[in-house]
Chain A
Amino acid sequence: MSVLVFIDTNEGHVKKASLEAMTYGAKVAEQLGIAAEGVVVGTAKDDLAALGKYGVKKIHHVNNPALDHLDAQVFTKAIAEVATKTGAKVIVFSNNVDGKSIAPRLSARLKAALVSGAVALPDTSNGFIVKKNVFSGKAFANISLNTDVKIISLNPNAYQTIAGEGTAEVVIADVTIDTPKVKVTAVNKVSGEVPLTEAEIVVSAGRGLKGPENWKIVEDLAHALHAALACSRPVADAHWRPHNEHVGQTGTAIAPTLYIAIGISGAIQHLAGVNRSKVIVVINKDPEAPFFKAADYGIVGDAFEIVPKMTEAVKKIKG
């Protein structure tokens, strides 16, 4: 019996969200008195044995370059076989782009209850109940998973990674690998940027910036903080910024440790995607802006004056 963690990779490197998933999976395994194991699909460039420090004892490597790009159908079949062979009781994913693609398929294949967007460890005192985000961050639901095998898809940034000691035993998984039907023809990376959903710090700006030509001050602050960029919906709609930066109820939902909102009013639909951030800083010239009600720190003033000053102050403090 095991808790099996899907260890997701990007160009062969283990994603940050998967370190969280492993730490979480190891804790679930401890709760259940069984061992945590991992499964990696595709070529790996990182030292997989070293992932033992996140609590996984054994890693099943489906080592086939045909699987360097995601085809959820093929991945699901391979992971299902590993899960069955290892007698997995709980299968853990990160609720990131790949997790959202594979976990539901696996749930249907194994007829295993799935909770996606989990934010806490299971409560096993009476059944198996996992807390998840619902209503776009405005509430939580406690979901009872009523099957023998259970699947948990953990929200990125919801569980702190802990690195301890130990190495994992790495074994090559002997599973069926179907020919992928989804053919990846191009990968376009926004180079040098921190991926939004994995970012610890996000600097976000809204219509208060007046136009795309004014984004330099926002980018400079993000750069100084090693932060990802985000924006409000009208900003993306007007093509001032790319769609993938749109956060909120109808954009990407994020939960960084620090969210800095510049010239964003804080409409309910915007807040829905960012209110799980640990600390929120609001810079807005309107003291009545609703965002201040959701903020931890705020400055009432003109973004064009405040943001460059903040960048300087950050550079100074960081040395």
Chain B
Amino acid sequence: MKILVCISKTPDTTAKIAFTDNNTKFDTSGVQWIINPYDEWYSLVRAIELKEADASTVIHLITVGTADAEPIIRKALALGGDEAIRVNTANADSFYIASQIAEVAKQGGYDLVFTGKETIDYNGSSIGGMVAELLELPYISLATKFELGGNKATVTREIEGGEEVCEVNLPAVVSCQKGVAEQRIPNMRGIMAARTKPLKVVEPSAADTLTAVASFELPPPKAGVKLISPDNVEELVRLLKEEAKVI
């Protein structure tokens, strides 16, 4: 079993969101970078669990990004995984990134490609589906459970108002969210081991970009809260009906 886990670098969840260059660039000053939580907590940990269950499993991590993504990929290696691949290019759009991942995946002959449900910065939820299409593989998105039995995966995926259990023969692409695994904290041994794990840098393959960010904007600030006395709950309900008109 050979698994490719996609790892993205994102701003910390508490990072201040601001823009520079006439609102065309994200202001990275003072921003702490983390592994995209969906990649770290769910897809990576699930891959590690699969390796714990079957030691012959090989896990490769991939990130598409410049050298400043290396601390993130080392941190991911500290949790687990055998080696990492960095495609040395600045992030362009989803299609460009997906094309890079698909190219590496094609050459590596993976049984399984894991992505997170989405990144917490771009919120695209697109990479997994694009990679699957480029590789002509089945895609199960928004998995909440992932079990492996030989060459067959049993995946539970979110649907509106419930969940669906699906079976698919590998190879396949799966995007993971809460439920698939539980967050782990890297230990000292993992951190030491990560330093010597191979991190291969490969140059990007030719690919198109289909979209571009024209500008960013921040939402308008809230007007401020209207406080209602705890002795007058009926007034709150009246306001919701008559003033806000939402019930």
Contacts and interface: CB of A to CB of B under 8 A. Distances in A.
A and B associate:
yes
Interface of A: 10, 15, 69-73, 76, 95-97, 100-109, 111-117, 127, 129, 131-136, 138-147, 181-190, 193-198, 200-201, 225, 236, 243-244, 246, 249-251, 253, 257-258, 268-269, 272, 275, 278-279, 281-282, 292-302, 305-306, 309-310, 313-314, 316-318
Interface stretch (B48-56, B57-65, B69-77, B124-132): B124-132
Contact of A314 (B218, B222, B223, B237): B237
Sorted nearest first, the 3 A-B pairs with minimum C-beta distance are A104-B129, A301-B230, A195-B161
Contact of B120 (A108, A145, A250): A250
Majority secondary structure of chain B interface residues (helix, strand, loop or mixed):
mixed
B157 to A, nearest CB: 8
Majority secondary structure of chain A interface residues (helix, strand, loop or mixed):
mixed
Contacts, number: 285
A133 B143 CA distance: 22
A102 B129 contact: yes
B95 interface: yes
B129 A105 contact: yes
A227 B130 CA distance: 35
16 contacts: A100-B126, A100-B141, A107-B126, A109-B133, A111-B210, A113-B210, A129-B214, A131-B217, A135-B17, A141-B214, A146-B209, A190-B161, A194-B161, A201-B246, A293-B222, A296-B244
Contacts of A258: 240, 244, 246-247
Contacts of A76: 133
Given A104-B128, A136-B120, A313-B234, A190 B162 contact: yes
Interface in B152-175: 154, 157-169
A272 to B, nearest CB: 7
- Size class of the B contact interface (CB-based, 8 Å): 35 or more
B178 interface: yes
Nearest to B38: A250
Given A15-B160, A282-B225, A138 B98 contact: no
B213 A279 contact: no
B238 interface: yes
Interface in B76-134: 94-95, 98, 120-130, 132-134
B241 interface: yes
Nearest to B232: A299
B170 to A, nearest CB: 10
A181 B168 contact: yes
B228 A298 contact: yes
B230 A141 contact: no
Contacts of A268: 13-14
Contacts of A132: 123
A50 to B, nearest CB: 21
Given A134-B123, A246-B178, A146 B129 contact: no
Nearest to A190: B162
